[in-house]
Amino acid sequence: MAGVIDGKMVAAKVNEETAKMVADMARSGNMQPGLAVVLVGDDPASQVYVGMKVKKCAELGIYSEKRVLPADASQEDVLGVVRELNEDPKIHGILVQSPPPPQIDEREIVRAILPSKDVDCFHPENVGKMLLGDEDGFQPCTPAGIMELLKRYDIDPEGKHAVVIGRSNIVGKPMMALLVQKAKGANATVTVCHSRTKNIAEIAATADILIAAIGKPEFVTADMVKEGAVVIDVGINRIDDPAAKRGYRLVGDVAFDEVAGKASLITPVPGGVGPMTIAMLMRNAVKACAAKIRNKKS
């Protein structure tokens, strides 16, 4: 039976470190890190995520602003908010919750965010730096959170076969880039599988580290997992469940119970990768502020 990777516990430690950095900044008379979270529309899951981010800011001493735009907001409306936040000295990080409503061109919005405030690491300039292994740049929150989990559980990807299922710009592609990097805590051999891959199950079953980020409930079954593999589940899927209080329950992209019988370590949903994503976002916001302080001094 696999050990369960406790993302809540690791995230709490990372958050403690972040809160200390915020407190140290205040003690030395420096500015308070500030994060703006922009939500366009009323998607219930996005509302929950945005609420969690704002709440975590308050817990760690980070100033936050929540900007909510209606579901029928125009591209110009959203760009206007981003431009205003770019100019705002209280704000060091800007996040526009993804996905926005269909009339919004997300590519253009992401490119409008100042790279120095792009705490999601979605801007092409930051994605490029990340791919090149630039250590001063941002790292995207979910993949960075997974790397942190591996590190804190002493799982060294070096020389291991990591299989990433999913090629999204938010998780799959940057996950591949971080794992393959020539760097301590990385150096993996990486395979990326996606919807057009012919033999996902066979490839997945060769993984020492298997990362599921496809958004399909319980897609990864025990037959797709090598005995003793480390399994990281990025999925958060709502499944109708009349017996549940809210009328739904959350499941990952991995069939947890059966896969736990084969894996050596596995992340649960909820309580695995999710809390790490928020912890890394908070850390990025503080990093953005620290860079601003350094630039002012030099």
Chain-centroid distance of CA 202 in Å reads 27
Shortest gap between Cβ of 121 and ligand GUN (angstroms)? 9
- Rounded Cα distance, 73 and 266, in Å: 40
Among 120, 208, 233, 253, the active-site one is: 120
Q: In sequence order, which residues have a C-beta less than 8 Å from that of residue 22 and are 6 or more positions away?
A: 32, 33, 60, 61, 62, 286
Question: Among the candidate windows 72-80, 89-97, 144-152, 159-167, which touches ligand GUN by CB under 6 A?
Answer: 89-97
The residue behind tokens 């981010």 is: 53
Of the two residues 141 and 260, which places its CB atom closer to ligand GUN in the complex? 141
Q: Is 75 a catalytic residue?
A: no
- Tell which one of 141, 176, 190, 192 touches ligand GUN (CB under 6 A): 141
Question: Among the candidate windows 19-27, 92-100, 150-158, 185-193, which touches ligand GUN by CB under 6 A?
Answer: 92-100
DSSP 127-188: HHHHHHT-TTS---HHHHHHHHHHHHTT---TT-EEEEE---TTTHHHHHHHHHSSSTT---
Question: Among the candidate windows 90-98, 129-137, 213-221, 243-251, which touches ligand GUN by CB under 6 A?
Answer: 90-98
Of the two residues 40 and 210, which places its CB atom closer to ligand GUN in the complex? 40
Of the two residues 57 and 96, which places its CB atom closer to ligand GUN in the complex? 96
φ and ψ of 145, to 5 deg? -65, -35
Query: Is residue 18 within the footprint of ligand GUN (CB under 6 A)?
Result: no
Shortest gap between Cβ of 77 and ligand GUN (angstroms)? 17
Angstrom distances, CA of residue 123 to CA of 18, 118, 139, 163, 241:
23, 7, 11, 25, 38
Of the two residues 98 and 187, which places its CB atom closer to ligand GUN in the complex? 98
Q: Is 97 a catalytic residue?
A: yes
- Rounded Cα distance, 276 and 295, in Å: 28
- Tell which one of 64, 142, 181, 284 touches ligand GUN (CB under 6 A): 142
The residue behind tokens 């999925």 is: 235
Candidates 193, 187, 186; CA nearest to 207 is 193
Query: Is residue 170 within the footprint of ligand GUN (CB under 6 A)?
Result: yes
Residues of this chain that interact with ligand GUN (CB under 6 A) are: 95-98, 120, 141-142, 170, 277
User: Which residues are identified as catalytic?
Assistant: 53, 97, 120
